[in-house]
Structure 1
Amino acid sequence: MWDTTSDYGVQPPLTEEAITEAEEDLDVTLPAALLDLLRTRNGGPIAAARSAFPTSRPTSWAADHVPFDHLMGIGDRNRVLSLLDSPYLTREWELPAELVLLSGDGHQWIALDYRAGGRHAEPSVTWFDAEFGRELALAPDFGSFLAGLTAPDDLSARP
């Protein structure tokens, strides 16, 4: 899953205390699949073989996928974005408040989307294009999102 050639964006090892504090600060229940992944490495670059999620329609990024080249962790490491920055970033980019941002560059984001079920239900995963005001549902939950990740080159080879 992880590109271990770089530690850019990696937060300190995840603790149960940090999880509890994050869920309280964000007022959400984070998905178990996300927490399991962050316990192995608390954010950072994603391996190229898992750095794209296929889409059913074109986005501003590509005709058949969205990028997932990094995952924000939980923490407050200086100069590194974290899931904890979601409230600020959603306001800054005029996104719905019921999101926890997982990955993005400001113009486009992949987020846990709590709008349908509430802040303590299993969130779906949605792509947001802040620049064009568009969104696209990607997966019904984070585990399904992880299962769908692939290499961008594999997608461009599809018929």
Structure 2
Amino acid sequence: MKFFDDNSMYSGPILSGEMVGRAQANLGVRLPDAYIEVLQERNGGVPVRRCFRTTRRTSWAEDHVEVSALLGLGFDRGIDGELGSAYLIQEWGYPDIGVVICDTPSGGHDTVMLDYRECGPEGEPRVVYVDEDRSILLLAQNFAEFIAGLLDCDELQSSKG
């Protein structure tokens, strides 16, 4: 099954090794292999499955978060671009713990990030949700686990709270 839907919003140019190297140098971290593999299908975009179950209430819902896009790299709205992770961390006051990788339907009030606090810049980051109050909730131990846990939002019973 494909990861992205047919909506090309949030998509950048075809991914190249040079773009990956430049993004990692600009961000100061090694990006997860699973993230790079997904971007080889399309360099950012709207996932087919956009919801991820949580163990507690979030600003989005009782039991999940929703992402509106997985951000790519190598263009203005990519994670390493002018409007990318560094800009979003500064603009929205997200904790400076790693890299913003997703847009959410809230338009900036919350986000999903790669968290490098425990693993360091060369390690395998965890994936966390940053709530509107800037509390951090662990979603997955790594990016591969995160994408495997994404669900079709229709499968979830609770509504936005």
Tell me what 2:69 maps to.
70
Question: Gaps (5+ residues) in structure 2?
Answer: none
Letter in 2 for 1:137: L
TM-score (norm 2): 0.88
Tell me what 2:155 maps to.
154
SS in 1 for 2:37: helix
Tell me what 2:29 maps to.
28
SS in 1 for 2:88: helix
SS in 2 for 1:44: coil
Tell me what 2:4 maps to.
2
Render the CA deviation track for 1:35-72: whole Å, top value 9, x for unaligned.
Answer: 0000110001111xx11000011101011110022111
Render the CA deviation track for 1:137-156: whole Å, top value 9, x for unaligned.
Answer: 10000000011111122121
| CA distance, structure 1, for counterparts of residue 15 and residue 144 of structure 2 | 19
Q: RMSD of aligned C-alpha atoms?
A: 1.3
SS in 2 for 1:118: coil
CA drift of 1:101 comes to 0.7
Aligned partners of 2:95 and 2:134 also within 8 Å: no
Aligned partners of 2:52 and 2:64 also within 8 Å: yes
Tell me what 1:82 maps to.
78
TM-score (norm 1): 0.90
Letter in 1 for 2:74: G
| Aligned counterpart for 1:114 among listed residues 90, 113, 116 | 116
2:12 aligned with 1:11, yes or no? yes
Specify which structure has the higher proportion of helix: 1
Tell me what 1:55 maps to.
54
| CA distance, structure 2, for counterparts of residue 98 and residue 39 of structure 1 | 25
Q: Percent identity?
A: 39
| CA distance, structure 1, for counterparts of residue 118 and residue 87 of structure 2 | 21
How many pairs were matched up?
150
Render the CA deviation track for 1:95-151: whole Å, top value 9, x for unaligned.
Answer: 22232111123111001111111111000000002x322221100000000111111
SS in 2 for 1:156: coil
Question: Gaps (5+ residues) in structure 1?
Answer: none
2:154 aligned with 1:126, yes or no? no
| CA distance, structure 1, for counterparts of residue 75 and residue 95 of structure 2 | 23
Structure 1 stretches of at least 4 aligned residues deviating more than 6 Å after TM superposition? none
| CA distance, structure 2, for counterparts of residue 70 and residue 86 of structure 1 | 14
| CA distance, structure 2, for counterparts of residue 117 and residue 94 of structure 1 | 22
| CA distance, structure 2, for counterparts of residue 73 and residue 136 of structure 1 | 23
